Structure 1
Amino acid sequence: MDQLKKFFASLSLRQRLTLGAVAALVIASIGLFIHWNKERGFKPLYSELSPEDAGAVVAKLREAGVDYRLRESDTTVLVPSEKVPELRLEMATAGIPKSGRIGYELFDRTNLGTTDFTEQVNYHRAVEGELERSVMAMSEVDQARVHITFPKDSVFTDDRQPAKASVMVKLKTGAKLSEQNAAAMAQLVSSAVEGLAPEAVSVLDMHGNLLIRPKKPNDGSAASDEVLQYKDKLERETLAKINSVLDPLLGSEKYRAAVDVDCDLTSGEESEETFDPTHSVITSSQRTEEGSLARDTTSGVPGTQTNLPRPPVRPPTQPGAGVARRT
């Protein structure tokens, strides 16, 4: 101990500070390694849970005295890797989590006492669950809910009700659902349900923004959508130009800009007549021709030659020989 004290006493202030920094760095590295090695032994029990289900899972783990970790905005629960299978069985027995959607595996459990109504309801649940899984397979979608109103058949034409559907999606952080993706989503849902047209599917996000609205035939909604799309495009382009000018001058935190475009897309016809004063235009013309031929009078010395028939007289072919023209 005395030798250690003598060693520190022989060091300069700079050497002491350097030695202390190295010792602190070594201790911190050891602590990080221990923490990393401990976290390495945890595996996800459930991922992408709703807040309600995450709270129920955590409460169940606390009740059982199991160590756990939360990640990714408290939607992923991690537990020791060796306890994952056992804990999943216990959670399933307790009916946790409740937000898991049931697909066609619902029919893997047969029940002889099932009524036609119950079987129909289970079929509807299975279709909605499978569609939710398909929608959530899209890269932009985090969670999805699908609700379908199946068509009702009737012997009376007026009492028949067409199928309708609505899709609510929660997008991943930073993701944006384009109009083409929303239309593809509506097409996916309509193709999976008999009698469901893509125009009868509405798609909206968790904030209540309607991405695709149901359309009625001949109601002009298609044209209205085109106008809204054009208006939105103009607003975005104009806002981008404004931001490109103001950002370098003021900075993005020093101003707020918004654009509202009023589009007038009315159409009409216009006719125009143009007269050239330097050139006269003939509106009408008239042409008249008059002609006359002189008669051949028979005369001569009486006798045989005079009484013989003469050849026919042809009309004159030269101008001024009895023909007059007037225009």
Structure 2
Amino acid sequence: MIPLSVLDLVPVREGGTVSEAFADAAALARVAEDEGYKRFWIAEHHAMDGIAGGATAVALAHVGHATRTIRIGSGGIMLPNHNPWVIAEQFGTLDALFPGRVDLGLGRAPGADGRIAQALRKDLMRGAEAFPSDVVELRAHITGEPETGFSPTPGRGAAVEMWILGSSLYGAQLAAMLGLPYAFASHFAPDHLDAALALYRRTFKPSATLDRPHAMAAMTVIAADSDEEAELLASSMDQSFVALRSGTPGRLKPPVPNYRATLPASAVGMLEHVRQASAVGSKATVARQIAAFAERTGADELIVAGATFDPQARHRSLALTMAALGQTGVPEMVAPETGFA
């Protein structure tokens, strides 16, 4: 069976609290661990009332203490917002707390606007341009190669898996050049998925980290007992996307029956476009859609996103998804000799 992982944004529900969102994230990670998911990643976003994962390393420490074996990581840290030294210390600390369980996914997008850039005291445009050199610097702080003459503690020698994330060809090129694993954000930006994976595999250069390409692709996955129930649950995500694209982001809302029927054609088209990489439905439907996506991408791993207003519904979705893959024609994919756990 192809390895599955979970991407979580630590959503804050309408009528809920940030504290509840963190409790929900820890509970979801425990379910993912029990169901056999490989990784639990949290994404960095800022100044969004409905997303609580801005202090990503702190959130990961919370999840790490709530679990025992599942890998925890960033999906991702937006490096233009940060100093590489500080990230080396943060993830070195996580590795010391949770040895052999920590992933460091790095993205070039800021996850913020100009106001947040000012608050962070960062020039995000310059930071994006410096992304490749910052990645190399960060890797040197952790591995000691090349030798910098001084090193962070914690950080130096940490057994952290470093990934490059992306939604365009840029990240694919960088991951291939550095010989790092690559994850594509097709759950919300599907346009360049096939081209990015092809470019990554074609131009990959083996490294001390990885001897062959290793790619992960993201999907939105909501599984329920019926197609109708899953579509209803997914309407909470649809509302969030419509609100975000209309400039009015907020907290995760309760599901609305036949929500898309209330929308103008332009909004429906936007949702259908952004949800190209998705599997929403009963166990049989999800099995079929995941199988088709895995065959199309040839991904070594898949990571599933998708919030539900009721946390228990997402718990069940993870269980049904894993059960669905056990009954599909998705071939078992043998991991390359990468040193990955």
* TM exceeding 0.5: no
- TM-score between both structures, scaled by the size of structure 2: 0.22
- TM-score between both structures, scaled by the size of structure 1: 0.23
Q: Which protein has the larger Cα radius of gyration, Structure 1 or Structure 2? A: 1
